[in-house]
Amino acid sequence: MRGKTSPPLMLMAVLLVGAVGAGVLLWNLGKIRQADAPIVITTGEADIGGAFSLIDQDGERRSDEDFRGRHMLVFFGFTYCPDICPTTLSILSAALNDIGPLADDIVPIFISVDPERDTPEILKPYLSAFGSEFVGLTGTKEEVDVAVAAYRAFYQMNGSESDDYLVDHTTIIYLMDADGKFVTNYDLNMGPDAIAIDLRQRISDAR
């Protein structure tokens, strides 16, 4: 991996959750290949999630086992993403703030699908804008691909070979339980309030 300049300085704007419902977001969502699904209610055990070994924003190697005992909110994205990723992280930040102390039982995890540019040095300041509780993970392409496959996620480079390329990727948010098992997924269009309501109930029930 090699270092790059910092991603676009859009963070202050995207932290305004009121922008979540903007029409431009809906237009961009239509360009991403994913299943539009609200909260998923499952019976049995979904084959989503699994082992990964990646590097966090502090340069430490982290595995899925490091997060046992807490629920995980897992989102795949990249720091150069112009809209979907910062908006999603803002939504998660607002939802976690809304549920108060229950958020102590949750770790939000951002897994980069652009490991070439998203080094730990890039991830750390980027995620700090959304909250100190966020864990950013990156690694080699092969290591990232293991995590992507485990979560049945998707990503694909989109554009030229220049440094300005974009990455199409899965935009759902995965909620995993304290044992690393899939619980449900959230859709970006739900907004922070609906996600907070569901998280509050599920975390309270799990305590």
- The angle subtended at Cα 160 by Cα 155 and Cα 165, nearest 5°, is 50
Of residues 155 and 14, the one with the higher pLDDT is 155
160 CB-near residues (< 8 Å, 6+ apart) = none
* CA distances, 196 to each of 1, 80, 120, 202 (Å): 36, 27, 29, 10
- pLDDT for residue 160: 66
* Residue 159: pLDDT band with limits 50, 70, 90: confident
Whole-number mean pLDDT of the chain?
84
pLDDT at 30 over 90: no
Instruction: Dump pLDDT digits (tens) for 84-121.
Output: 999 999 999 999 999 999 999 999 999 999 999 999 99
pLDDT at 6 over 50: yes
Of the chain, the end-to-end C-alpha distance in Å amounts to 40
pLDDT at 44 over 70: no
- pLDDT for residue 150: 97
Q: How many CB atoms lie within 10 A of CB 67?
A: 18
* Residue 201: pLDDT band with limits 50, 70, 90: very high
- pLDDT for residue 45: 64
Architecture of domain 42-206: 3-Layer(aba) Sandwich (3.40)
Task: Calculate mean pLDDT across residues 114-136.
Answer: 97
